[in-house]
Amino acid sequence: MAYNIKISGNGDIAPGEYGEIKVSGSTRIEGAVRCESLSCSGSLRAAGELTCSGEVKVSGSFKGAAGLTAGELKVAGSASLEGEVAAEGEMKVAGSLDCLRVRAGELKVAGVLNASSAEAEEAKISGRIKLEGLLNAEKLEIILASTSSVGSIGGSSISVYRPDMGRRSPRLPLLSSLGHGDGRLLVEDCIEGDTIAIENVTARRVSGRVVAVGEGCKIDLLQYSEQVELHPDAQVGRCEQV
Domain hosting residue 10, numbered range = 1-115
Q: Are residues 125 and 236 in the same domain?
A: yes
pLDDT band at 163 (very low <50, low <70, confident <90, very high): confident
Overall number of domains in the chain = 2
Q: Are residues 103 and 155 in the same domain?
A: no
Answer with the one of 70, 95, 115 that is the final residue of a domain.
115
Q: Are residues 94 and 185 in the same domain?
A: no
Q: Are residues 130 and 212 in the same domain?
A: yes
pLDDT at 177 over 50: no
- How much is the average pLDDT of 210-221? 95
Answer with the one of 66, 85, 115 that is the final residue of a domain.
115
Q: Are residues 138 and 24 in the same domain?
A: no
pLDDT at 37 over 80: yes
Q: Are residues 33 and 131 in the same domain?
A: no
User: What pLDDT shows up at residue 170?
Assistant: 46
Q: Are residues 159 and 73 in the same domain?
A: no
User: What pLDDT shows up at residue 220?
Assistant: 98
Answer with the one of 115, 141, 159 that is the final residue of a domain.
115
pLDDT at 2 over 90: no
pLDDT at 166 over 60: no
User: What pLDDT shows up at residue 190?
Assistant: 98
User: What pLDDT shows up at residue 143?
Assistant: 94
Q: Are residues 224 and 170 in the same domain?
A: yes
User: What share of the chain has pLDDT > 70, as a percent?
Assistant: 92
Average pLDDT over the chain, rounded to an integer: 92
User: What pLDDT shows up at residue 87?
Assistant: 98
Q: Are residues 125 and 222 in the same domain?
A: yes
Q: Are residues 137 and 94 in the same domain?
A: no
Q: Are residues 227 and 198 in the same domain?
A: yes
Quote the pTM value: 0.91
> What is the per-residue DSSP string for the chain?
----EEESSEEEE-SEE-SEEEESSEEEE-S-EEESEEEESSEEEESS-EEEEEEEEESSEEEESS-EEEEEEEESSEEEESSEEEEEEEEEESSEEE-SEEEEEEEEESSEEEESEEEEEEEEE-SEEEESSEEEEEEEEEE-SS-EEESEEEEEEEEEEPPBSS-SS--SS-----B-----EEESSEEE-SEEEESSEEEEEEEEEEEEE-TT-EEEEEEEEEEEEE-TT-EEEEEEE-
Q: Are residues 238 and 211 in the same domain?
A: yes
